[in-house]
Amino acid sequence: MQTVNTPDTREVPWGDVWGQDDAVETLRAAAADPASMTHAWLITGPPGSGRSTLAYAFAASLIAAPGDHHAMRQVMARTHPDLSALRTEGVIISIKDARALVERSYLAPSAGRHRVIVVEDADRMTERTSNVLLKALEEPPAETVWVLCAPSEADLLPTIRSRVRTLRLREPEVEDVARLIQARTGVSAEIAEQSARHAQRHIGMAQRLATDEASRRRRESTLRGVLAVRSIGDVIEVAAQIVQAATEDAKALTAARDEAERATLLRTVGIVEGAAIPPAVRSQLNALEDEQKRRATRSLRDGLDRVLTDMQSLFRDVAMMQFGRTDGLINVELAADARARTEQWTPQRTLAVLDAITATREALQQNAAPVLAIESLLITVGTGRTP
């Protein structure tokens, strides 16, 4: 059982790290003995396991002197001058951004004990981008520490893996996540457990489900729609609904931020709301809009990937039942529907659907049209045949 820290007892900078005691102790020991510490790390774990939170806590312990809570909080807020952080808002990390990180990695720390470079989405680096980092990872300055985050070691090139020390995070149990979510949000134990289970122990997603009834309803409606697919007409309708819901969700998550960024830019250059945009500012505004479009694309794909994860959990339940397992089901509320599939489908058909979900995820990562990719998947779900 994991303990849940309250705001009054949380320890800076480790207080926000939850359920990773072994990893915390490893990084504490490394930070306490810089002379023997590895200067390039890879923190791996499933989405929601706390990779980034742990990375910044480690950065705070390296940059700030012991007891300097102000500097530690600066790092945790991503505002300390000796922290360089990269979390791409696009689909991939660009070579330009990687080169900028490498350049900063060779600067001496200006206020702290170390300069720390955190790459939150290291799995989004292409091969060419990864190659930009190789020498900096292999021979960083003595006071520079790199911390990469990714779901698994397999998401990075072997040349990168050979230059870092890997720290694997543990997956918390559903019950542990439920207790944390209940303590943080005050929702009922039933909602907390259901959200933790549906989120498959992803803490951030569990918290969103627990506190947003519309998200819970949308998830259930999507899965019931997928189960109801029988004809090509159903395929077209349900695929459109899935993409539309993901699009609206992405807009809701990015619209307010986009508008705030635009207003801030105009205010910075002295342009009042509604005034004409001078040509000299137009290029800056266009660059901002391009960045926002890339962020919207990523947000949409992340939303579709979440739908695919939910679908995968449903047909995983079907497969488990077909092989005689009824414990550990994710979608308990849809158990009757899943059981019906065990009677109608062969295990081979269920496995074919699971393979199709994986293929769809890969297709979306390669810029496939979302509607066409989802339609293709639903044809397999409804007919058992690959289009």
The pLDDT-based confidence of 219 (bands split at 50, 70, 90) is very high
Q: In this structure, are residues 344 and 322 in contact, taking their beta carbons and an 8 Å threshold?
A: no
The pLDDT-based confidence of 227 (bands split at 50, 70, 90) is very high
User: What is the per-residue pLDDT for 92?
Assistant: 77
The pLDDT-based confidence of 93 (bands split at 50, 70, 90) is confident
- Give the tokens for residue 196: 């933790």
Cβ-count burial 160-173 (b if 16+ within 10 Å, e if not) = beebbeebebeebe
> What DSSP element (H or E) covers 353?
helix 347-365
The pLDDT-based confidence of 91 (bands split at 50, 70, 90) is low
Q: Does the pLDDT at position 6 exceed 80?
A: no
User: What is the per-residue pLDDT for 3?
Assistant: 45
Q: Does the pLDDT at position 71 exceed 70?
A: yes
Q: What is the pTM of this model?
A: 0.69
CA distances 113 to 108, 153, 261, 309, Å, are 9, 29, 33, 42
Residues 317-327 have pLDDT tens digits of: 999 999 998 88
Mean pLDDT over residues 284-298, rounded?
A: 77
Topology, domain 232-383 = Zinc Finger, Delta Prime; domain 3 (1.20.272)
What are the residue boundaries of the structural domains of the chain, listed by start?
Answer: 14-168, 174-211, 232-383
Provide CB contacts within 8 A for 48, sequence distance 6+: 199, 201, 202, 203, 204, 205, 206
Mean pLDDT of the chain: 87
User: What is the per-residue pLDDT for 340?
Assistant: 92
356 CB-contact burial (10 Å; exposed 0-12 / middle 13-18 / buried 19+): buried
Q: Does the pLDDT at position 88 exceed 60?
A: yes
Max mean pLDDT among 85-99, 109-123, 238-252 falls in: 109-123
Q: In this structure, are residues 49 and 106 in contact, taking their beta carbons and an 8 Å threshold?
A: no
Sign of the four-CA dihedral 119, 122, 128, 130: positive
What is the percent of the chain where pLDDT is above 70?
94
φ/ψ of residue 112, rounded to 5? -105, -170
Task: Say which range, 50-64, 71-85, 201-215, 288-302, has the weakest mean pLDDT.
Answer: 288-302
The pLDDT-based confidence of 256 (bands split at 50, 70, 90) is low
User: What is the per-residue pLDDT for 49?
Assistant: 79
Max mean pLDDT among 236-250, 310-324, 372-386 falls in: 310-324
Residues 105-137 have pLDDT tens digits of: 999 999 889 999 999 989 888 888 899 998 888
What is the percent of the chain where pLDDT is above 90?
48
Between 138 and 161, name the one with better pLDDT.
161
Count the Cβ atoms, other than its own, within 10 Å of residue 39: 21
The pLDDT-based confidence of 217 (bands split at 50, 70, 90) is very high
Return d(Cα 382, Cα 315) in angstroms, integer: 13
The pLDDT-based confidence of 298 (bands split at 50, 70, 90) is confident
Residues 333-357 have pLDDT tens digits of: 999 999 999 989 999 999 999 999 9
The pLDDT-based confidence of 89 (bands split at 50, 70, 90) is low
Q: Does the pLDDT at position 7 exceed 70?
A: no
Query: What is the CATH class of 14-168?
Result: alpha beta
307, 324, 287, 318: which is closest to 360 by C-alpha?
A: 307
- Give the tokens for residue 211: 């506190």
64 CB-contact burial (10 Å; exposed 0-12 / middle 13-18 / buried 19+): buried
User: What is the per-residue pLDDT for 9?
Assistant: 37
Between 63 and 274, name the one with better pLDDT.
63
60, 142, 144: which is closest to 101 by C-alpha?
A: 144
The pLDDT-based confidence of 21 (bands split at 50, 70, 90) is confident
Mean pLDDT over residues 280-286, rounded?
A: 79
User: What is the per-residue pLDDT for 8?
Assistant: 35
Mean pLDDT over residues 85-101, rounded?
A: 81
